[in-house]
Amino acid sequence: MVVRFPAPLRRGDRVGVTAMSAGVPANIRSRLTFAVATVAGRGYDVVLGNCLDTRDDVPGPVSAPADERAAELMTMLTDPTIRAIVPPYGGETAIDVLHLLDWGAIAAAEPTWVIGYSDIDTLITPLTLTAGVATIHGNNLMDTPYRPADGFVSWLDIAAMAPGTTFAQMPPGRYRRDAHTDWRIEPRATELELDAKGGWRRLDEDGDLHVQGRLIGGCIETISNVIGSPLGDVPRFVRKQAPEGTLVYVEAAEDNAYTICRNLHGMRLAGCFEGANAVLVARTKAPNDARMTQAEAVMDALGSLDIPIVADVDCGHVAPFMPLVNGAHAQVRLIDGAAQLTQSLG
């Protein structure tokens, strides 16, 4: 079996928007409108789902009851005219739709690009592991209007690439220390000031690095609840679709170091790092604890794997954001402090 890559987006294609997790509150609806216009400006027909806004009659941080969100996502995944699906942003409990999806029908359908990160990793990582479909761990819709940092590309560019395309991304060496833009005040924001310096670094040891494998991973707080289940069987993925091994990427959104340490240990016990040639750890603002930093949490759980561990990779909740394609064959080079990640869509 090989990873299936969706057909590239072409002008006139339909892009579905559905809130698989959190809905959009009224006070930032203008940002959603601007983000939709950004995608439409690339020549795509944007289809807005019914599960989109926050609703007073639905408890919890979701756009609609789980069965409605699952049904809308299934409709978009199996509609051959919808070529990509992107949520407004993440949320908290996308896991409640997993058991409601028809995974056999998804695997049998023509593959569709699904994009997102944070809580959306709860869905896109199983789509790759279980249905064998490449997905994009990339900016959700509300972040899509931001201009990519120097050296990075947008998920819109990746989804339009021809099969077999290889592309490289180089980190800009800067990141954003502050919180995100207040979309209530600046709904049309397109620039993110990168106000701090910082590049990738090895946690396991010093020295240069050149390693390769199939990308798989996501947000620790969300995928740790799926890895090891039938929908998160990484060893099966390695056997069937990544015999060359994997590059596992992980990122902490907000949990403290003790919790991240426990979750990484659990992911390791569940087989997440079997066949891994390296681990990529995203830069994080998640808090340290009194006797453990976030970096120490990673090394406590994963240091004895005896594989390279690269930290401060730009693929988490700290801007800028480097899109990663789950299922893509990738190479990471870190030479004399200069980093590059190359991905191949095939």
Beta 166-169 vs 135-137: how paired, if at all? unpaired
The residue with tokens 């995203």 is 282
> Is the pTM here over 0.95, yes or no?
yes
The rounded radius of gyration (Å) of the Cα atoms in the chain is 19
Model confidence band, residue 181 (pLDDT cutoffs 50, 70, 90): confident
Report pLDDT for 178: 80
Q: What is the pLDDT of the chain when averaged over all its residues?
A: 97
28-85 pLDDT, tens digit per residue, is 999 999 999 999 999 999 999 999 999 889 988 999 999 999 999 999 999 999 999 9
94-108 pLDDT, tens digit per residue, is 999 999 999 999 999
What mean pLDDT comes out for the span 153-171?
97
In this structure, which amino acid lies at residue 98?
L
312-330 pLDDT, tens digit per residue, is 999 999 999 999 999 999 9
Model confidence band, residue 159 (pLDDT cutoffs 50, 70, 90): very high
Is residue 337 scored above 90 in pLDDT? no
Model confidence band, residue 298 (pLDDT cutoffs 50, 70, 90): very high
133-153 pLDDT, tens digit per residue, is 999 999 999 999 999 999 999
Whether residue 136 contacts residue 323, with contact meaning beta carbons closer than 8 Å, is answered with yes
Report pLDDT for 133: 98
* Percentage, residues of the chain above pLDDT 70: 100
Query: How far, in Å, CA of 44 to CA of 160, rounded?
Result: 11
Query: How far, in Å, CA of 231 to CA of 254, rounded?
Result: 24
What mean pLDDT comes out for the span 284-307?
97
